[in-house]
Structure 1
């Protein structure tokens, strides 16, 4: 089945669940003449996108209290635009690292059309999403010690696993961007991020524009380690100039929204 047909089927499933309130996997397999495995992957991706909830044997529509508030929806659109721009930098058969985080994980559903990917991650959430893709990549996990604050594996075992490979790209988020120093984080566990950057030929930071200029004590990656920064088009011009002056490729993904407060 082509990618276009897959997208059409998923749109139709989301509409059916919204209309009926609940539907079974069996009914969906009959309606779309496809396998249960394919339907379950569809439902997993639609759940990740916040369009429904999976239940045993099928799916149900989202309760009204779980529907996104307007501000949350705007944040989601920014993350999605960043994810699309970042995913465009991926090529078939690339070997990549995807760090934990909500912005990096937003890219995973967009990788279904890529073939032959090898993906290492320290995130159970990212790993779960990768397993649901139709073109399922070769999945590598860092292992290590589970850190509940970052919801990821950290530590020496994870670092050793990373150093056993070489990668084309690292996709990593940030709690903040210090325009003078680089990416910053609230978490003191920055060792793994630095090893990730060491073993990747291109380091791609994915971060919303509202985090750029945020000063947080812990330096994660200095500008010298960063090749590309992908953000949204809400970034102020003076910040753009400062980032590009560091020799970093800057991509400001369009969100198709007006930014009346842009300076």
Structure 2
């Protein structure tokens, strides 16, 4: 741990957070004092299952969209799969991701693509900051599609990224907030709260969701959509 902190010129606390996030994403296993790489076959198997879950979630999310809707797609791998599922006419799509913007302009349905601009954050591969927030506030949207690193059943969506201000603005300017998240992330408590439950309208996840957890989330007033 000390070696990694020195190598990346950061604190051991940050290294621990990053290793935890990588373990939860299926890239390594934590061990005392550090971590080890997952065996290739285990990694590939888990990634294949994860990909199927994300595609199912994306398909269910696309079913929530209507022609001519104005939507925001936040940066992220789960939300990114939604782009390929878009087929609606007359869409206006705002994103803070260069990669997603490039995919959007290549779609046959030819959505109008808007970008937040702002300060580039290499860690999240997205635009953040005051400029991005001001751009978002100059529009209003029908729906926000956003992912999460974890889902605290008491507080809401959580992340290890400290840049959470833009997500709040995205939620503020959207009439409907839809969280796209794999069931394996539900129950994970990251250090930073992103969106509180009262800010979330719908949660879309895969069919591995525990029925008891589903009921617990619905009791908070959130519609739960299980993708199959």
Q: Report how far residue 87 of structure 1 moved.
A: 0.5
Shift, 1:195, TM fit? 0.2
Secondary structure of 1:171 counterpart: strand
In structure 2, what is the equivalent of residue 56 of structure 1?
Answer: none
2:154 to 161, 173, 180: 180
Matching of residue 195 in structure 1 with residue 141 in structure 2: no
Q: Which has the higher contact order (CA 8 A, sep 6+)?
A: 2
CA shift for structure 1 position 69: 2.3
User: Which residue is 2:63 aligned to?
Assistant: 88
Q: Map Cα deviations across residues 3-41 of structure 1 (whole Å, 9 max, x no partner).
A: xxxxxxxxxxxxxxxxxxxxxxxxxxxxxxxxxxxxxxx
Q: Deviations over 1:177-209 (max 9, x none)?
A: 000000000001110000000000000000000
- Residues 1:75 and 2:50 aligned together: yes
Q: Secondary structure at the match of 1:180?
A: coil
Match of 1:99 in 2: 74
Whole-angstrom CA distance in 2 between matches of 1:213 and 1:238: 12
Match of 2:32 in 1: none
Structure 1 residue corresponding to 2:124, chosen from 150, 153, 160? 150
Structure 2: runs of 5 or more not aligned: 1-39
- Matching residue of 1:61: none
Q: Deviations over 1:120-171 (max 9, x none)?
A: 0000111011011012110100000000111100000000000000000000
Aligned-residue offset at 1:232: 0.3
Counterpart of 1:137 (choices 88, 98, 111) is: 111
Distance in 1 between residues matched to 2:134 and 2:94, nearest whole Å: 13
Based on CA coordinates, which of the two structures has the bigger radius of gyration? 1
Normalising by structure 1, we get a TM-score of 0.70
Q: Which runs of 5 or more residues in structure 1 are unaligned?
A: 1-64, 255-263
Partners in 2 of 1:219 and 1:160 — Cα distance? 22
Instruction: Give the equivalent residue in structure 2 for 1:115.
Output: 89
Deviations 1:89-122 (A, max 9, x none): 00000000000000001011111x2100000000
Over aligned residues, Cα RMSD in angstroms?
1.1
Return the match for 1:171 from 142, 145, 152. Answer: 145
For the residues of structure 2 that align with 1:201 and 1:80, how far apart are their CA atoms? Answer: 25
Residue 14 of structure 2: aligned partner: none
